[in-house]
């Protein structure tokens, strides 16, 4: 969510590509699947990804998808320069206040999920979102995914660019969509 190129490709895929392939009923043979890849060189990246997961835990798939857009919409306020002097809890609080109303979840509900779990004397266990985030990180380490955005079509990594136009995406996707229709 911190990566400006991920936002750029997200906007192109969700606003242009998916809509281009959608039928009159809104269904599309192209499904956009967003996988979380927090980047450790932007420490706040993990926090943005945990907020997304908190929205999923609190509100299910629909709220999780809405949170993606909301986090991309506010990402400019959470760049390294903007959060360098902030604590982890300050960043969580700012993120929750900036996004909760857009997705229809109370900021307090998200903050509860992001609170450090100190039950049973634990000191380093993370929060209610940590286990889910670990699965994403494990998946991408196993696949060798290092940078964002990285795109795959039907599970196969493909060379794309966040600068691609709709026409460039169509060159990649039209043959695949045509094959699926046949």
Q: What is the pLDDT along the chain (182 residues), one digit of tens a residue?
A: 999 999 999 999 999 999 999 987 778 889 988 889 998 899 999 999 999 999 999 999 999 999 999 999 999 999 999 999 999 999 999 999 999 999 999 999 999 999 999 999 999 999 999 999 999 999 999 999 888 899 999 989 999 999 999 999 999 999 999 998 77
What pLDDT is attached to residue 17?
95
Q: Which of 13, 80, 15, 21 is nearest to 47 (CA)?
A: 80
**Cα gap 11→83, rounded to integer Å:** 24
**Cα gap 172→155, rounded to integer Å:** 14
What pLDDT is attached to residue 105?
97
| All residues at 6 or more sequence positions from 43 whose CB lies less than 8 Å from its CB, including other chains | none
* H-helix or E-strand spanning residue 153: strand 151-153
What pLDDT is attached to residue 89?
96
What pLDDT is attached to residue 26?
75
What pLDDT is attached to residue 88?
96
What pLDDT is attached to residue 180?
83
């Amino acid at each position: 969510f911190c990566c400006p190129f991920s936002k750029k490709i997200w906007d192109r895929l969700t606003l242009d590509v998916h809509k281009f392939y959608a039928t009159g009923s809104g269904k599309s043979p192209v499904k956009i699947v967003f996988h979380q890849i927090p980047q450790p060189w932007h420490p706040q990246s993990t926090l943005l990804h945990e907020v997304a997961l908190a929205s999923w835990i609190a509100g299910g798939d629909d709220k999780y998808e809405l949170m993606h857009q909301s986090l991309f919409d506010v990402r400019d306020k959470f760049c390294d320069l903007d959060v360098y002097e902030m604590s982890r809890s300050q960043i969580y609080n700012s993120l929750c206040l900036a996004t909760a109303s857009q997705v229809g979840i109370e900021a307090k509900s998200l903050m509860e999920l992001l609170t450090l779990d100190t039950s049973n004397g634990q000191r380093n266990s993370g929060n209610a979102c940590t286990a889910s985030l670990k699965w994403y990180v494990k998946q991408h380490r196993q696949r060798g995914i290092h940078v964002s955005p990285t795109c795959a079509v039907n599970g196969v990594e493909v060379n794309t660019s966040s600068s691609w136009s709709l026409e460039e995406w169509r060159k990649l996707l039209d043959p695949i969509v045509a094959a699926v229709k046949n």
